[in-house]
A and B are shown apart, each in its own frame.
Chain A
């Protein structure tokens, strides 16, 4: 009502609202283009993975598989070392996430107590590595000196503590009213019992958010495998892909340069398709799980940003 009277009184207002409608349409179109830019590359790989490898030699597969085939996916699972690498990735993700959450949450909880002795010293010790680190080579030599080279624990131990996540826990635990713990303290419970029985259950949303970040970090990490391991038995999935890149580039140069040798070309084409199949398999767990965790990590980022 108010708007219409204002519009009648002022013809500029109508022009302005028409301008706003145009503005909205432009925003909508630009956003849609951005989303296409973000999502289409994955979709492109998805349809290539489900297309026959030889057929994919010819361009033109952009919207749906031209020659549907499950062969790439089935062969990708059988790539040598892929199954054991997947097992390693799953194992390190689960063990690493659980332990890292425990270490960060306990630190955050203890430091959230104002009466903690040496509290500010602990905070300084935790903050400095955020701004300065030894760098790649000293870390590499350190891992060797500690006897962790080629050891599965090299995936777990160095990443156990993250200052950033500990601060998010600290911010969460500061909000916990002391009255919650008082009755437990009167019952003679120690802090470990309180932490496990009272604190952990009420901080479930924060734990969920940080678990997602930590788990994704573990699942995607490939540099530690490259730097700190030499034997193939503890290869991880992400590391396998970092090696595939060089292979794919090589195969493609093979395909481009060997116009006459049909056999080579076909070999290159089918191998590339199998690799694309493997990439799709490795991405799928994240794509499937992440809509469920979406609200948690959005919340986690917000807690982190408020405390900054």
Chain B
């Protein structure tokens, strides 16, 4: 055995062993991450192979960009991509800003006790599973007995009952309304917390200067929470582009498939139902890359616009 003076390596191991208990605490998390996050990432290579169960992930034959080429010419991918992008844009324009407006309005409400009741009620939809929500939707939208059709007829918006679920033209609207309904109250919590953290002296000073409520909102509240808004924007970009598998899958049917099919549901149908694993993995890979690109672009844009640090 060679005799060496305690070098960098041995010093490291000695310190490592001394904190064995802390290292052991990290271990379960790292094992879970490797098994369920990093192992699947390595499985992405089957996008460049012809996967068969018999040969396994690493044994299957390489085919290069074959699947990428067939995706480019697949009209169903084009349709799914179009729907994914359109829904993402609608989400950015409507679902993202809505909680901010809701929070600003709640903040302006006079009666504190009613305000708290309203706020509590507004989170409720967030805690109900998409599976149950989407199971209730056909009941709400039933042409003869559902309350939505009755209400719209009562106000004269429609004359005849509409079968909302089987008409492709209503699917975008339905998805956006459901997402809005489910998340508006919960997402508002963060904005309300940010508003509560604003220095009250600014409002007092504004009041002495005779600023109206609206001016206070415009010139104090909104600028003060700009950082929170841009941070949430970056954090939600990848989720927004990620699409909503739950609604598109659970409420998608033969009638509305031309608008309800998004990349995620196409991925599922190709991979799990039809067993075209390699092809579906390529679809998923493209989706992941596009989402990552959007995240980086969004981060750069926000950095430029708000002169904040962004996420990274």
B121 touches A23 (CB 8 A): no
Name, among A38, A133, A190, A256, the residue most crowded by chain B CB atoms within 10 Å (CB to CB): A38
Bound form: Cα–Cα A146–B271 in Å: 19
Bound form: Cα–Cα A283–B35 in Å: 33
B124 touches A287 (CB 8 A): yes
Shortest CB-to-CB span from A172 to chain B, Å, is 15
Let me know if B123 is at the binding interface, CB within 8 A. yes
* Chain A residues with CB below 8 A from B109, complex form: 24, 27-28, 31
List the A residue with the shortest CB-CB distance to B115.
Answer: A31
List the B residue with the shortest CB-CB distance to A247.
Answer: B135
A191 touches B189 (CB 8 A): no
List the B residue with the shortest CB-CB distance to A223.
Answer: B245
Shortest CB-to-CB span from B94 to chain A, Å, is 14
Shortest CB-to-CB span from A100 to chain B, Å, is 9
Let me know if B106 is at the binding interface, CB within 8 A. yes
* B interface residues, how many (CB within 8 angstroms): 98
B135 touches A242 (CB 8 A): yes
Let me know if B4 is at the binding interface, CB within 8 A. no
Bound form: Cα–Cα A140–B44 in Å: 12
Bound form: Cα–Cα A142–B281 in Å: 13
- The stretch that binds A, out of B24-32, B69-77, B78-86, is B24-32
B124 touches A42 (CB 8 A): yes
Shortest CB-to-CB span from A55 to chain B, Å, is 11
B33 touches A129 (CB 8 A): yes
**Given the interface contacts A107-B26, A248-B138, does A222 sit within 8 Å of B15 by beta carbon?**
no
- B residues neighboring A (CB under 8 Å): 12, 15-16, 19, 21-26, 28-30, 32-33, 35-44, 46, 51, 56-57, 102, 105-106, 108-110, 118, 120-125, 127-132, 134-140, 142-145, 147, 150, 163, 165, 181, 184-186, 189-190, 193-194, 210, 212-214, 228, 231, 235, 238, 245-246, 250-251, 253, 264, 267-268, 271-272, 277, 280-281, 284-285, 287-288, 292, 295
List 9 A–B pairs whose Cβ atoms lie within 8 Å, in order of A's numbering. A20-B213, A31-B105, A38-B121, A103-B29, A142-B36, A238-B132, A244-B135, A256-B144, A302-B189
User: Across chains A and B, which 8 residue pairs bring their CB atoms closest together, nearest first?
Assistant: A134-B40, A138-B43, A135-B284, A220-B129, A191-B21, A106-B25, A107-B29, A129-B37
- A residues neighboring B (CB under 8 Å): 6, 10, 13, 16, 19-20, 23-24, 27-28, 30-32, 34-35, 37-42, 44-45, 48, 56-62, 102-104, 106-107, 109-111, 113, 115-118, 122, 125-126, 128-129, 131-142, 145-146, 157-158, 160-161, 166, 190-192, 195, 216, 219-223, 227, 238-239, 241-242, 244-246, 248-249, 252, 255-256, 272, 275-276, 279, 282-283, 286-287, 290-291, 294, 298, 301-302, 305-306, 308
